[in-house]
Structure 1
Amino acid sequence: MATGATTMTRLRGLVVIVAWLVFVADLQAQAPQRIVSIIPAVTEILFAIGAGPQVVGVGSYDNYPPEIGDLPRVGGLIDPDVEAILALRPNLVVLYITQVDLTTQLTRAGIPLFEYSHGTLADIPTTIRRLGNRTGHAAEADKVALDIEDGLVRIAEAVSRRHRPRTLLVIAREPYSLRNLFASGGSGFQHDMLELAGAKNVLDGTMRRAVQVTTEMILQAAPDVVIEVRTVERLSPAEIEKEMEVWNALPSLPAVQNQNVIFLTGSDLVIPGPRIVQAITRFALVLHPDAPLPTQ
């Protein structure tokens, strides 16, 4: 009898342990309800796939979609605010894979993480699907990803067999000056955007995402088109004209001679997220205005 009672006691204990393990596993599998995203692209993705109501904090440099306006800000790539993040009691934090110190601190605090890195154009739908699976929105994420993939194919078809102008994509420089100018190199999503829009990146031989270039390098590259992008949503016509006038310092540049210096504004042009088809279409429209491009 004693042996039987002991066996039953052990069995009951085993059942309790198994039930607890199942409960913990279910809890871990549940979609996170308090998400902090430090990354503008990921914040956009979360709202696009229907996970917006689960977001409780965003990066200090996030500005889209408008629904994030009242959410707490928790710093960014260089200046994450650990205390602010912890105060939000998140059960998922999305951060850059390069934020090693932040990863260590949040891991010690027992907070689940989703590590992100900027990749190529092809990585955007993959990231969207991964976030959908992680947040409980797999079906919605797959639809967003499929729409992007379809849009990219339609752009490629629209500009196929057209002349590909040699283009310099400028992503940053000093205001009203050609100093400290950075342009898209031959790798990364911005290079992919430019090429898919029907251009030939004049810096495609430089296998870096961003390249600091001098005026001598620009003259040597001799682009037929210069496209400048700014993250600000709006600049006055006078400000844009003043910014474009700085290129007159290079009168021998083909883009200047042919009046093909183009200035575009908007965060969609620099964020690898759900608006990527819209952004590439904007590039394609200035490169191939008569192409049968998809409408947004």
Structure 2
Amino acid sequence: MAIRRLARLGWGRALLLAGALLAGWPARAEVRLTDDHGVEVRLAQPPKRIVSLLPSLSEAVCELGRCDRLVGVDRYTNWPPALAGVPRVGGGLDPNIEAIVALRPDVVLAATSSRAIERLRALGLKVVALEPRTHQDVQRVLLTLGALLEVPDAARVWRAIDAAVSAAAQSLPPAARGLRVYVEVSPGPYAAGEASFIGQTLRRLGARNVVPASLGPFPKLNPEFVVRADPDVILVSSRAAEALAQRPGWAALRAVRQGRVCAFDAAQSDVLVRPGPRMAEAARLMADCLARAAAPARPTAAAAGGRP
């Protein structure tokens, strides 16, 4: 019936009318972006099914309001709680390829260091490689994910993080400024250097990192390096804190002798080492540690919960 009515209008006018009607329909624009490997990724439309192989990227997707699109995550993703029931696909560096393929993702989010990227691409999957290491990287990754997921106000997430870090810095007493700090992110020991996002947060809090930028964002150190640096404050996991004094020469460190060791439990450690939406919470944890360290020294053992 509709076709006969269009035919009576004449095919030329009918085509113009059809074009006008179609112009009123919302079009799904192609998504195009360049990832941290310099690879241009194109998708016909924003992805509905996402696999994330890095906890900070999973957290960023959720903070941008697209948690429901995550159909698979790596084994270390444990926040927010809404992701508890999402299938795990192994580790981020070397995930279970078959499990990922079975989930039929529109896109896979991975760290640039993941060894699975080329294999996933060879199987025809779209992969976006992103790895935030600095504050600037976190901002850029949030905007990139915002473009990928059609979140027009993605910049607000970064503004909230940035404002909260500034608020944490303003909360510190003058005595906390200039404290020399060592942050251990994992056994090895691996430390957070000045060039890392953790180092940048410390600098904004007015602290001095004993690990210079020249050593890289997260260098593996000779324990003797820390002995020579003799930091005022040490930030470390609760498990590592238990044995600090047993490390050669570490019992003599002023931070150990004066009880200025902030020991963080597993959940707090996750917050500290993930460059994403919870960086504001990490800044508050570090600020609380520095404020307590600035109080009159007292030779006590490190307390759990991030408190010296």
Residues 188-221 of structure 1, C-alpha deviations (whole Å, 9 max, x = no match): 2122122223311111254312233334222211
Q: 1:137 to 1:220 in 2, by over 3 A?
A: same
- Provide the rounded CA distance (Å) in 2 between the counterparts of 1:268 and 1:127: 18
- From 148, 153, 159, give the equivalent of 1:146: 159
- SS of match in other structure, 1:288: helix
- Does structure 1 retain, via aligned residues, the 8 Å contact 2:133–2:217? no
Residues 141-161 of structure 1, C-alpha deviations (whole Å, 9 max, x = no match): 232222112212323444496
Following superposition, the deviation at residue 271 of structure 1 comes to 0.6
- Aligned residues, how many? 259
Residue 69 of structure 2 corresponds to residue 54 of structure 1: yes
Instruction: State the TM-score, normalized to the length of structure 2.
Output: 0.74
Partner residue, 1:93: 108
Structure 1's unaligned 5+ residue stretches are 1-11, 13-18, 174-179, 231-238, 292-296
Deviates more, 1:113-122 or 1:276-285: 113-122
- Does structure 2 retain, via aligned residues, the 8 Å contact 1:166–1:200? yes
Residue 254 of structure 2 corresponds to residue 254 of structure 1: yes
- Provide the rounded CA distance (Å) in 1 between the counterparts of 2:234 and 2:259: 9
- Does structure 2 retain, via aligned residues, the 8 Å contact 1:227–1:261? yes
Amino acid at match of 1:52: C
**Which structure 2 residues correspond to residues 1-296 of structure 1 after superposition, within 5 A?**
28-99=43-114, 102-139=116-153, 141-159=154-172, 163-173=177-187, 180-204=188-212, 206-229=214-237, 242-243=242-243, 246=246, 250-265=250-265, 266=268, 267-289=270-292
- Provide the rounded CA distance (Å) in 1 between the counterparts of 2:207 and 2:163: 20
Amino acid at match of 2:203: E
Residues 82-133 of structure 1, C-alpha deviations (whole Å, 9 max, x = no match): 111110000011012233x533232233322221113202221221121111
Q: 1:240 to 1:120 in 2, by over 3 A?
A: closer
- Provide the rounded CA distance (Å) in 1 between the counterparts of 2:98 and 2:240: 40
Q: CA RMSD in A?
A: 3.0
Deviates more, 1:183-192 or 1:90-99: 183-192
Identity among equivalent positions (%) equals 28
- Does structure 2 retain, via aligned residues, the 8 Å contact 1:187–1:209? yes
Following superposition, the deviation at residue 134 of structure 1 comes to 0.4
- Does structure 2 retain, via aligned residues, the 8 Å contact 1:196–1:280? no
Structure 2's unaligned 5+ residue stretches are 1-14, 16-21, 32-42, 295-308
Residues 22-68 of structure 1, C-alpha deviations (whole Å, 9 max, x = no match): x8965945221100000100001111111111110001111111111
